[in-house]
Amino acid sequence: MSRDYSHRLIVQEVAPRDGLQIEPKWVDTDDKIALIDKLSTCGFTRIEAGSFVSPKAIPALRDGDEVFHRIARRPGVIYVALIPNVKGAERALAAHADELNLVMSASQTHNRANMRMSCEASLAGFGDIVRLAAGSKVSLNATIATAFGCPFEGRIDEDRVVAIADTYREMGMHGITLADTTGMANPRQVARLVERVLERVPADALTLHFHNTRGLGLANVLAAYDAGARRFDAALGGLGGCPFAPGASGNICTEDLVNLCDETGIPTGIDLPALIELSRALPALVGHDVPGQLAKAGRNGDLHKAPDYVHAI
Amino acid sequence: MSRDYSHRLIVQEVAPRDGLQIEPKWVDTDDKIALIDKLSTCGFTRIEAGSFVSPKAIPALRDGDEVFHRIARRPGVIYVALIPNVKGAERALAAHADELNLVMSASQTHNRANMRMSCEASLAGFGDIVRLAAGSKVSLNATIATAFGCPFEGRIDEDRVVAIADTYREMGMHGITLADTTGMANPRQVARLVERVLERVPADALTLHFHNTRGLGLANVLAAYDAGARRFDAALGGLGGCPFAPGASGNICTEDLVNLCDETGIPTGIDLPALIELSRALPALVGHDVPGQLAKAGRNGDLHKAPDYVHAI
């Protein structure tokens, strides 16, 4: 089976948002800004830099306004903000976010647990945000969370996911993300769903968001890429975690993903040694080990010195 | 791209050998035997139960003779022993191992570092073992270590790997393993090399041995499976590690692999809930957390209770 590895894979770095949001230790605003500014020099074209949610709900990201105002905007980089509602959208527009990422779960139960509203209420809010953003230069992305499975409901009907994608497009969303929020996707399912969604959404408007909760993150990326997907979320160091699975891995790890691409020849435009250096500074920032593996193992090309006795054999 | 998930995937459990060999804490012989006996009831057809190497080189496995004598042999399960030399083969035959697994690295430097001899000396020893085993019922497998990369030499010429496979077959080896000893393989390379080797070795005689050092273990399994490979080594809990990458992951994790198969519909014949239970007992056995993720996250079907407030929305 011959595959085509020549298409560029776009990585959207989400550590400043999906990575940091569940960290129990407060990360200083200056440190967040320094991290984002360093990420901006690594070759990313998209960085999810923060969220505008209730400070009570996500205290770790309560400084989103200041972060967005003070980061050094690098030309060619789109700085994305996660938005739960109209109030968050107003704050994000005031902070000059380039793109708003709205979230609704395919699972009613998960949406009620996560957003504290029904899917219908979420969609009504999305309509308000579309009207608010009209006339501004901001672009809109809408995420379908739990698109590959729900930790409360289990399997999610693929027709429902496809129908939500249609609804998002009809509402005027520029981009759509299929999110495997708690790492339940498998490569066979990913290939099938990506193929169906790409029949209605162009590849440059579709993002895949995988967690590595059950070790399948990079296998799912390859299955999606083989099916035509080109844009992927990933978090430096594999930050993120899952509140339902203590000790389980978080988002797919950016440097592990870029290493996969470098080794297979998939172009990303991202500077892997710079990423590894940033990742190795993460444990000091968040106060614990992180799941990413490349920063521990090094790249294939980082050769080891053979023991002296081999020369005597 | 349509794929065929209907072929059975054979998992050879290697935790008792490749998993335990680098553990610093001594695991009692009784505990090793209990682990192997429990693994024997999980549906495996192949278990690498120990090795017959110098007790000075691998003290953790110095009780291989007693382990092989005392385990409860389950009909239908092949109990494999890793063998470094003729002396080890004699011990393994005396202990009634069903299969001997011989190892040589494709990389001269790695073979000298690991086996303390040249590749030519390894092959000469293999010839002695073939003669020793002739007339017995034992089957012989030979592993090509560092087949996908060497931590000292870097890239390994694929022609060399294919030539070694030919040599092994000409010597009378029944099975051949391609081992990614330090987790340097990528899916594109795996597909290419597996296709080439399957032109000369039947699928039921070829095993792939992957480490998850850089997070690509299960992606490599799928690439190999898609290319026609059917037999894979894996270690309960992802035990194993890599002496050159502290903190990096070890062998691909058996229960993570079986979960991938269960979710995609690939038959394995292995009892996943029983495996998870065994894996969850590993930290107490080895004295530290293990890298496997499924035992932490649970299966997709292990649903969580939604928070009470969702019912009021």
Q: What is the pLDDT of residue B230?
A: 98
Kindly state the average pLDDT of the residues A65-71.
98
Q: What is the pLDDT of residue B241?
A: 73
CB-based contact A218 B216, cutoff 8 Å: yes
Tell me phi and psi for residue A146, to 5 degrees.
Answer: 50, 35
| Nearest CB partner across the interface for B1, out of A149, A191, A259 | A191
In the numeric block, which tokens belong to residue A308?
């002296």
Residue B1 has pLDDT above 60, yes or no: no
CA triple A115-A218-A234, angle to 5 deg:
45
Q: CB-based contacts of A121: which residues, under 8 Å, 6+ apart?
A: none
CB-based contact B264 A116, cutoff 8 Å: no
Q: What is the pLDDT of residue B265?
A: 98
Kindly state the average pLDDT of the residues B299-310.
94
Helices A187-198, A158-171: inter-axial angle, 10-degree rounding: 40
B230: three-class secondary structure by DSSP: coil
Q: What is the pLDDT of residue A274?
A: 98
Compute the distance between CA of residue B161 and CA of residue B107 in angstroms, rounded to an integer.
Answer: 9
Residue A1 has pLDDT above 60, yes or no: no
User: Which CATH number is associated with domain B10-312?
Assistant: 3.20.20.70
Q: CB-based contacts of A112: which residues, under 8 Å, 6+ apart?
A: A118, B306, B309, B310, B313
Q: What is the pLDDT of residue B313?
A: 86
What is the average pLDDT score of chain B? 95
What is the average pLDDT score of chain A? 95
Residue A252 has pLDDT above 60, yes or no: yes
Q: What is the pLDDT of residue A165?
A: 98
Note the pLDDT tens digit of each residue in A134-187.
Answer: 989 999 999 999 999 999 999 999 999 999 999 999 999 999 999 999 999 999
Note the pLDDT tens digit of each residue in B208-229.
Answer: 999 999 999 999 999 999 999 9
Note the pLDDT tens digit of each residue in B55-64.
Answer: 998 999 999 9
Q: What is the pLDDT of residue A313?
A: 86
CB-based contact A294 B214, cutoff 8 Å: yes
Helices B217-226, B254-264: inter-axial angle, 10-degree rounding: 50
Residues of B in contact with A154 (CB under 8 A): 300-301, 303
CB-based contact A303 B153, cutoff 8 Å: yes
Distance (Å) from the alpha carbon of B243 to chain A's nearest alpha carbon: 10
Compute the distance between CA of residue B179 and CA of residue A160 in angstroms, rounded to an integer.
Answer: 43
Kindly state the average pLDDT of the residues B70-90.
97
Q: Report, in angstroms and rounded to the nearest whole number, the Rg of chain A calculated over CA atoms.
A: 19
In the numeric block, which tokens belong to residue B204?
């039921």
Residues of A in contact with B120 (CB under 8 A): none
Q: What is the pLDDT of residue A135?
A: 87
Chain B's closest residue to A289, CA to CA, is B247
Residue A283 has pLDDT above 80, yes or no: yes
Q: How many CB pairs under 8 A join A and B?
A: 170
Q: How confident is the model at residue A241 (pLDDT cuts 50, 70, 90)?
A: confident
Predicted-assembly ipTM surpassing the 0.90 threshold: yes
Residues of B in contact with A289 (CB under 8 A): 247
Q: What is the pLDDT of residue B243?
A: 62
Question: Going along chain A, which residue ranges are E strands?
Answer: 10-13, 46-51, 78-83, 99-105, 139-145, 175-180, 206-210, 231-234
Q: How many CB atoms lie within 10 A of CB B149?
A: 24
Kindly state the average pLDDT of the residues A272-278.
98
Residue A244 has pLDDT above 90, yes or no: no
Note the pLDDT tens digit of each residue in B140-177.
Answer: 999 999 999 999 999 999 999 999 999 999 999 999 99
Residue A201 near residue A176 (C-beta atoms within 8 A): yes
Residues of B in contact with A215 (CB under 8 A): 212, 217-218, 253, 256, 259-260, 292-294
Note the pLDDT tens digit of each residue in B241-290.
Answer: 766 566 667 999 999 999 999 999 999 999 999 999 999 999 999 999 99
CB-based contact A215 B213, cutoff 8 Å: no
Q: CB-based contacts of B171: which residues, under 8 Å, 6+ apart?
A: B123, B126, B127, B130, B142
Distance (Å) from the alpha carbon of A227 to chain B's nearest alpha carbon: 7
Asked about B42 being catalytic, the answer comes back as no
Among A1-5, A144-148, A250-254, whose mean pLDDT is lowest? A1-5
Residue A5 has pLDDT above 60, yes or no: yes
DSSP annotation string for A3-71: ----S--EEEE-IIIIIGGG-SSPPPHHHHHHHHHHHHTTT-SEEEEEE---TTT-GGGTTHHHHHHHS
